[in-house]
Chains A and B, each alone.
Chain A
Amino acid sequence: MAVIETKGLTYTYPSGKKRTLEDVSITIEKGEFVVLTGPSGCGKTTLCRCFNGLVPHFYGGKLEGDISVTGLRVSEHSIHELARHVGLVFQNPENQLFALFVEKDVAFGLENLGVPRDEIRKRVDWALQTTGIENLRERAPHELSGGQQQRVAIACVLAMQPDVMVLDEPTSFLDPSGAQKIFEVISELNKEMGITVVLVEHRLDLASRYSNHVLVMNEGRVVLDGEPREVFNSETARLIGVGVPKATRLSQVLEESGVDLGRVPVTSGEASHILKEVLRRD
């Protein structure tokens, strides 16, 4: 079942002269872990904003074509209706927390929806537990590290029990260990709870391990759409400056030198596994 479906989606910001999205037609199935990537300014963030109606309801501008999310046509439903189904996590963790205590922030969305207090308590506890931050419950946001803040932001969205979680470069301000934790949390939500994940990311080496669907955008268009292996291995990906995982690059340079590994690796784990087989065989 398609969770997100767009047909010929084209969008121009009110102040913009150029189209930010140009004829985007994609289908994201339920339970997929989608990595959305492409050079800076290619329209990734704008596409994410379409998923919960920030575009066009918050930003205005001209939206053409069709987009529906969990069966709801975005143009016909308000942001807060869509918010029950789609959660957005943004790049800067600092600007996503506005309460004075973590717990209160996690409850914010549910309070807005008018969920009864007992139910809020239950869901807040659950969200904190699932993201592994129960111990931060009573801390103030400015006492937390960037990685912790970002996990709180995920818990905030999770508490609303969305079907889809969209994360726009959630790790770009974090160090490797902070980023790793975020990826683990997201992958668990995807695997254990079946939440569909759309992750915008430049650092494909870390993200590709969890993904089963990659979209590459360039200049407002989706230029590649498919399995990670096939997308990363394509010439187009490298030419438009996507940070193809080194494992894939290695198999490419080996092939140029006449060594065919038989399979294209995406992660370093896969690469060493395939290499072991090939090297032992010879």
Chain B
Amino acid sequence: MIEVKDVSFTYVNGVEALRGVSLTIRDGEFVAIMGQNGAGKTTLVKHFNGLLKPTRGEILVDGVNTRKVSVATLARKVGFVFQNPDHQLFCETVEDEVAFALRNFGFEEKTIKKRVAWALNLLDLTEYRETSPFMLSGGERKRVALASVLAWNPKVVILDEPTIGQDQKQKERLRQFIIQLTAQQKTVIIVTHDVEFVAECNPHVVLMAQGEIVAEGGAKQMLTNPDLVTKASIVPPQITQIFLELADLGLPTDLIDIHEAREALLNFLGVNS
């Protein structure tokens, strides 16, 4: 469980990135933190594995104050996948890359072998184990970065802007993968401004703007509320946009999914005919 208690954070250059943020993320929850660039999303999640320590307030990860332990200790529990895989890949082979963290954490060689094989298989990378990560395509590099974090089996997985530059198929693959992680009782936290992706995943949504939490709740409740969406400077999903226009016909406006939309329209037509 991650408890954020009235946390404020100011960067050395004086920029106040978080202002009195309180939030609780329960075990096994799937959370999307949304908002404009500069709203404080990434700053907030960098507190979860101790990369940043709050200027005021405190953060407890499973009851442990993040101020009191090292990043390496917290990282065992909280895995963080950065937005750009090129900010972390450096090994000669994909296999070494995935083993890097395991070696840092002092796993035994035998365990490392097993875990690397497991992670590579999970992300469909086994055929590249001997390949240099720099030879892979962008999408594949992203998967290597993900595998290198999942290898140590952290309880919480944070994904920073996982959909940036990804095409539809890659996004769908990512969505399936997240479902798989949540099925294993992992806490998954994504930082994103990709409304369509969130609409397809249906997580718990935290809306942020200017270093504060504007609102939190179910994806449907958050993304279909025009006021909240405007406050967080995002746009409603396309399906919602369509139905907000149809409100005066008496159709529901709280729709984000295409199949719900079809049902609603068929119902409406059925009633009328």
Q: Do chains A and B touch in the complex (CB under 8 A)?
A: yes
> Which 9 pairs across A and B sit closest by C-beta, in order of nearness?
A272-B245, A241-B169, A246-B238, A243-B168, A268-B241, A175-B193, A175-B37, A39-B167, A272-B242
Bound-complex Cα distance A67 to B185 (A): 55
Question: B269 touching A249 by the CB < 8 A rule?
Answer: no
Bound-complex Cα distance A39 to B137 (A): 12
Count B interface residues, CB 8 Å: 41
Question: A259 touching B269 by the CB < 8 A rule?
Answer: yes
Tell me the nearest residue of chain B to A278, going by C-beta: B269
Q: For the complex formed, measure the closest distance between the CB of B239 and the CB atoms of chain A, giving whole angstroms.
A: 5
Bound-complex Cα distance A279 to B269 (A): 7
Question: B269 touching A246 by the CB < 8 A rule?
Answer: no
Interface assignment of B98: CB less than 8 Å from any CB of chain A: no
Q: For the complex formed, measure the closest distance between the CB of B111 and the CB atoms of chain A, giving whole angstroms.
A: 34
Query: Among the listed A39, A177, A250, A269, which residue makes an inter-chain contact with B36, where contact means beta carbons less than 8 Å apart?
Result: A177
Query: Among the listed A38, A175, A269, which residue makes an inter-chain contact with B233, where contact means beta carbons less than 8 Å apart?
Result: A175
Query: Among the listed B138, B170, B262, which residue makes an inter-chain contact with A250, where contact means beta carbons less than 8 Å apart?
Result: B262
Interface assignment of B91: CB less than 8 Å from any CB of chain A: no
Query: Among the listed B139, B165, B233, B249, which residue makes an inter-chain contact with A279, where contact means beta carbons less than 8 Å apart?
Result: B249
Query: Among the listed A180, A246, A253, which residue makes an inter-chain contact with B235, where contact means beta carbons less than 8 Å apart?
Result: A180
Query: Among the listed A146, A245, A259, which residue makes an inter-chain contact with B238, where contact means beta carbons less than 8 Å apart?
Result: A245
- Which residues of B209-261 have CB atoms within 8 Å of chain A's CB atoms? 233-235, 237-239, 241-243, 245-246, 249, 251, 258-259, 261
Q: Is the interface of B mostly helix, strand, loop or mixed?
A: helix
Q: For the complex formed, measure the closest distance between the CB of B234 and the CB atoms of chain A, giving whole angstroms.
A: 5
Interface assignment of A176: CB less than 8 Å from any CB of chain B: yes
* 26 sampled A-B residue pairs with Cβ under 8 A: A39-B167, A40-B139, A40-B165, A40-B167, A41-B137, A172-B164, A176-B36, A176-B195, A176-B235, A177-B234, A180-B235, A202-B168, A241-B172, A243-B168, A246-B196, A249-B258, A250-B239, A250-B242, A250-B262, A268-B239, A269-B245, A272-B242, A275-B246, A276-B245, A279-B269, A282-B269
Query: Among the listed A175, A245, A279, which residue makes an inter-chain contact with B246, where contact means beta carbons less than 8 Å apart?
Result: A279
Q: List residues of chain B with CB under 8 Å of any chain A CB.
A: 36-38, 137-139, 164-172, 193, 195-196, 233-235, 237-239, 241-243, 245-246, 249, 251, 258-259, 261-262, 265-266, 268-269, 272-273
Interface assignment of A59: CB less than 8 Å from any CB of chain B: no
Interface assignment of A193: CB less than 8 Å from any CB of chain B: no
Question: B168 touching A145 by the CB < 8 A rule?
Answer: no
Question: B167 touching A202 by the CB < 8 A rule?
Answer: yes
Q: For the complex formed, measure the closest distance between the CB of B200 and the CB atoms of chain A, giving whole angstroms.
A: 10
Interface assignment of A9: CB less than 8 Å from any CB of chain B: no
Tell me the nearest residue of chain A to B273, going by C-beta: A282
Query: Among the listed B166, B169, B233, B246, which residue makes an inter-chain contact with A177, where contact means beta carbons less than 8 Å apart?
Result: B233
Mark interface residues in A251-275 (1 if CB within 8 Å of B CB, else 0).
Answer: 0011001010000000011011101
Question: A175 touching B238 by the CB < 8 A rule?
Answer: no
Tell me the nearest residue of chain A to B192, going by C-beta: A175
Query: Among the listed B37, B164, B266, which residue makes an inter-chain contact with A178, where contact means beta carbons less than 8 Å apart?
Result: B37
Query: Among the listed B164, B167, B249, B259, which residue makes an inter-chain contact with A243, where contact means beta carbons less than 8 Å apart?
Result: B167
Question: A275 touching B265 by the CB < 8 A rule?
Answer: yes
Query: Among the listed A145, A249, A257, which residue makes an inter-chain contact with B37, where contact means beta carbons less than 8 Å apart?
Result: A145
Interface assignment of A103: CB less than 8 Å from any CB of chain B: no
Query: Among the listed B138, B239, B269, B272, which residue makes an inter-chain contact with A40, where contact means beta carbons less than 8 Å apart?
Result: B138
Question: B37 touching A174 by the CB < 8 A rule?
Answer: yes
Question: A272 touching B246 by the CB < 8 A rule?
Answer: yes
